[in-house]
Amino acid sequence: MSGTVHVVGAGLAGLSAAASLAEAGNRVVLHEAAKQAGGRCRSYFDPSLGLTIDNGNHLLLSGNRSSLDFMRLIGAPDDALTGPEEAAFDFADLKSGERWTLRPNPGRLPWWVLRAGRRVPGTRARDYLAPLSLMMAASGNKPGQSGTIGERMSCEGPLYERLWHPVLLAALNTDPRESDVGLAATILRETLGAGGRACRPLVAVQGLSTAFVDPALRYLEERGAQIRYGRRLRAVALGQGRIERLDFTDEPTEIGPDDAVVLALPPWVTTDLLPGTPAPQTFRSIVNAHFAVRPPEGAPLLLGVVGGLTEWLFAYPDRFSVTISGADHLLDESREDLARRIWGEIAELNGLARELPNWQIVKEKRATFAATPEEAARRSGAATRYRNLVLAGDWTETGLPSTIEGAIRSGTIAAQALFRTGMCGRAQAQGVA
């Protein structure tokens, strides 16, 4: 292509779009409002802990093919994501004190549900059919038209409390009862439905920036892309079926006849810039708690916890970190009270002293869009009515909930949409559905 592609927003969606475009030989300029790339998926130094942490613990699964393709493309370190060799999820119940490990077998045929030792204690093989009913209910429907999980499967009993609730809540960041069946079905099809091989839990133990952001920036710089920070887009000039100018707070950028634009911005920013764009309007929060304590030998990297406030406990080499999803009910709680309650649970699970170590509580209010049928129906595709403008972001129509996988896939979909207009060079297909 002779022109330049301006990508606005350097979260994972923008980085993914920029990488696909640069891979195909396009000249790319990446504009980001913040001083750092990564958006909702980044690492930073936290002075109260004295440690570099992530803005939130992020869990991936080995079935997240767009994420793994992206990491291969940008040359992320081989050990950037860590997890067990086979799918295995350790769980603990704070109320009963029970512990168990869920072990789906690698292949598609789920014989593991027939083995009591691989299942959740107190459950029967036939209880595990629930996801099938979700996948069947979603089949052939438009986004948001398959109803809620609460309408399609029983949301009570030991299997729900000990498996479907924690797993679906983590994936959707929304109470499963009110969550969209279609979004849940996509996740299940690409992970559990594809067999244990697609369900290995993967954690960025050296941090999200090491795994995703730094290698992506290196990849772009090596291909001549410009990366400009402190560039907040506040308006766009539209005309003649095309975008003509980007008005950043510092200075405008004219969009020439051969140039194109990818807006990879949060939904509320996109709708301010382009009123009338369909986009999710309600969001859910996530609370993360971090404690500067070296986990004892043998603490699992990831522990699912039921019966308490803690939902997922991550044991990083230099800290314990906890994720609590769908956490709107905790936003008004005092940070210190939360730290004390959560640390009490970690101490109990690991036989540690109750004295509170250095801690940090991070409340992300708009962590993800609410994965309800209403919001699932409000997503935009990548293409717009402006021929040189496409959209990306975890909230655009990927079929996935707001996740790393969704954000990265949205970037490749946006790049493919530009390739189809003929304005940009064509990349090799990169895991686009």
Ligand X SMILES: Cc1cc2nc3c(=O)[nH]c(=O)nc-3n(C[C@H](O)[C@H](O)[C@H](O)COP(=O)(O)OP(=O)(O)OC[C@H]3O[C@@H](n4cnc5c(N)ncnc54)[C@H](O)[C@@H]3O)c2cc1C
- 232 contacts ligand X (rule: CB under 6 A): yes
- 190 contacts ligand X (rule: CB under 6 A): no
**Contact in structure between 40 and 288 (CB atoms under 8 Å):** no
Q: How far is CA 162 from CA 34, 234, 236, 305, 324, in A?
A: 39, 46, 48, 9, 15
- 11 contacts ligand X (rule: CB under 6 A): yes
- 393 contacts ligand X (rule: CB under 6 A): yes
* Residue 338 beta carbon to ligand X: minimum distance, rounded to whole angstroms: 14
Look at residue 212 and give its three-state secondary structure: helix
The nearer residue to ligand X, 137 or 382, going by C-beta atoms, is 382
Give the integer Cα–Cα distance in Å for 148 and 392: 26
The nearer residue to ligand X, 41 or 347, going by C-beta atoms, is 41
- 90 contacts ligand X (rule: CB under 6 A): no
- 32 contacts ligand X (rule: CB under 6 A): yes
- 330 contacts ligand X (rule: CB under 6 A): no
- 245 contacts ligand X (rule: CB under 6 A): no
Burial (Cβ within 10 Å: 0-12, 13-18, ≥19) of residue 120: buried
Find the angle CA(239)-CA(39)-CA(148) to the nearest 5 degrees.
85
- 216 contacts ligand X (rule: CB under 6 A): no
The nearer residue to ligand X, 105 or 384, going by C-beta atoms, is 384
Stretch that binds ligand X, among 86-94, 258-266, 346-354, 378-386 (CB under 6 A): 258-266
Backbone angles phi, psi at 395, to 5 degrees: -90, -10
Query: Max Cα separation, the chain?
Result: 67
Residue with tokens 């292509």: 1
**Contact in structure between 325 and 289 (CB atoms under 8 Å):** no
Among 1, 22, 28, 40, binds ligand X (CB under 6 A): 40
- 264 contacts ligand X (rule: CB under 6 A): yes
* Residue 353 beta carbon to ligand X: minimum distance, rounded to whole angstroms: 28
* Residue 93 beta carbon to ligand X: minimum distance, rounded to whole angstroms: 22
Residue 298: CB partners within 8 Å, gap ≥ 6?
A: none
DSSP codes joined into one string, 127-196? GGGHHHHHHHHHTTPPTT-S-BHHHHS---SHHIIIIIHHHHHHHHSS-GGGSBHHHHHHHHHHTGGG-G
- 339 contacts ligand X (rule: CB under 6 A): no
- 41 contacts ligand X (rule: CB under 6 A): yes
* Residue 88 beta carbon to ligand X: minimum distance, rounded to whole angstroms: 18
- 59 contacts ligand X (rule: CB under 6 A): yes
Angle (deg, nearest 10), helices 214-222 and 12-23: 30
Residue with tokens 């930073």: 44
Interface of this chain with ligand X, residues 281 to 300, rule: CB under 6 A: 286, 288
- 404 contacts ligand X (rule: CB under 6 A): yes
- 266 contacts ligand X (rule: CB under 6 A): yes
Burial (Cβ within 10 Å: 0-12, 13-18, ≥19) of residue 40: buried
Among 87, 120, 135, 233, binds ligand X (CB under 6 A): 233
The nearer residue to ligand X, 113 or 309, going by C-beta atoms, is 309
The nearer residue to ligand X, 254 or 297, going by C-beta atoms, is 254
The nearer residue to ligand X, 407 or 423, going by C-beta atoms, is 407
- 203 contacts ligand X (rule: CB under 6 A): no
For residue 380, the Cα-to-chain-centroid distance in whole angstroms is: 18
* Residue 37 beta carbon to ligand X: minimum distance, rounded to whole angstroms: 7
Stretch that binds ligand X, among 11-19, 69-77, 221-229, 346-354 (CB under 6 A): 11-19
Give the integer Cα–Cα distance in Å for 409 and 398: 7
- 267 contacts ligand X (rule: CB under 6 A): no
Q: How far is CA 148 from CA 9, 154, 185, 225, 371, in A?
A: 32, 11, 11, 43, 10
DSSP codes joined into one string, 346-410? HHHHHT---S--SEEEEEEEEEEE--SHHHHTT---SB-SSTTEEE-STTSSSSS-SSHHHHHHH
Stretch that binds ligand X, among 53-61, 69-77, 156-164, 377-385 (CB under 6 A): 53-61
- 33 contacts ligand X (rule: CB under 6 A): yes
- 326 contacts ligand X (rule: CB under 6 A): no
The nearer residue to ligand X, 308 or 406, going by C-beta atoms, is 406
* Residue ranges binding ligand X (CB under 6 A): 8-14, 31-34, 39-41, 55-56, 58-60, 231-233, 264-266, 269, 286, 288, 364, 367-368, 393-394, 402-407
